[in-house]
A = this chain, B = another copy of it.
Amino acid sequence: VKEKLSGLDLNAKPVAFVAGGAGFVGSNLVRRLLAEGWNVFVADNFSLGSADLLDSVSANNSLEIVEADLSLRTSALECFSQCARVFGDIDDVWHLAANSDIPAGVTDPNVDLKDTFMTTFALLEACKAWDVKNFHFASSSAVYGQWDGEAGLSETLGPLRPISNYGAMKLASEAQISAACEAFLSRVNIFRFPNVIGTPATHGVIYDFVKRLLDQPTILQVLGNGTQQKSYLHVSELVDAMLFISQHDSPSGGYPQILNIGNDDDGVSVKFIAEQVVKEIAPLAEIRYGSESKGWIGDIPRFSYNTDRLKAIGWRPKLTSKASVERAVFEIASQLK
């Protein structure tokens, strides 16, 4: 633990606790919060994330990073206590800790139970104990399940029938947060994340394709037949949207604000992504497709978002899904090369 200034300059800053702050989205959020003048306490189990992702800001006195298993109540409470000692009372909790390896959770539901749901449960217990009122949660489009023929998934859809344990535990988290909102929280945002891309990438379709092609530059084997079509959002825009919403929301009156964040365009196909990666890494490689329209159990082959609520608040993305993919392919190729 690096030495901290104890001066007024730190104490005057608001304090953000970022669970999962060393992950892909988390590390981007942390950098943005620091830039906007927050003290930021990061707790992460470093299972998929890594303190390395925060190297560029590790010297910043307004940042504290600890390794912790937030699925344990005692551990969550200890982190809150430590944050209070370093920066003072927590103003906002940003909960981005989760298992992000969806197939792993399909194989063993305990992975999502522990890393996705129990982190939520324990963080809420800690918020109650420490009287923290503001809670922002990274939910997911995976809560919707598969809606064939539904043009754009809106927040008012029901019933929700997630098809992966990942989606199930995100929905379970939403439910528990909702009850906590009635009982003791006062400002709550539940962000239903889209497919998010960019760097520092730790997983995901572009990351996989780039890695495979760097290993074996002549062939790119694609799981599924390549027709899976999804919309994508660049991580810089996701973080921008979260901050924007957190600055434009209002006391929730006992309810969480639930919002889709994403592009509402038709998205791009896996084929398009594969072609972009090939163009960037190994233009002569052959792309081989599978025969299934789905990649794996829990995968959603087609999906597009309705983001009318988000637009009504005043935020919309600058990049299309296509432009986001092109940018992310370039960035991830640079990261992994």
Assess whether B183 is in contact with A161, with CB atoms less than 8 Å apart. no
- Known interface pairs A124-B109, A183-B297; A168-B178 also in contact (CB < 8 Å): yes
Most buried by B among A143, A179, A183: A179
> Does A164 touch B at the CB level, under 8 Å?
yes
Assess whether B175 is in contact with A163, with CB atoms less than 8 Å apart. no
> Does A121 touch B at the CB level, under 8 Å?
yes
Assess whether A121 is in contact with B125, with CB atoms less than 8 Å apart. no
When C-beta atoms are compared, the residue in chain B nearest to A163 turns out to be B182
What is the copy number of this chain in the assembly? Answer: 2
Q: Quick check: which of A150-158, A228-236, A239-247, A266-274 contacts chain B, the rest being far away?
A: A150-158
Seen from chain A, the residues whose Cβ lies within 8 Å of a Cβ on chain B are 106, 109, 113, 117, 121, 124-125, 143, 145-146, 155-165, 167-169, 171-172, 174-176, 178-179, 181-183, 254-256, 258, 297-298
Given contacts A117-B172, A158-B159, A172-B175, 16 further A-B contacts (CB under 8 A): A109-B179, A145-B178, A145-B182, A155-B158, A159-B160, A159-B258, A161-B256, A163-B178, A163-B181, A163-B254, A167-B179, A168-B179, A169-B176, A179-B298, A182-B297, A183-B297
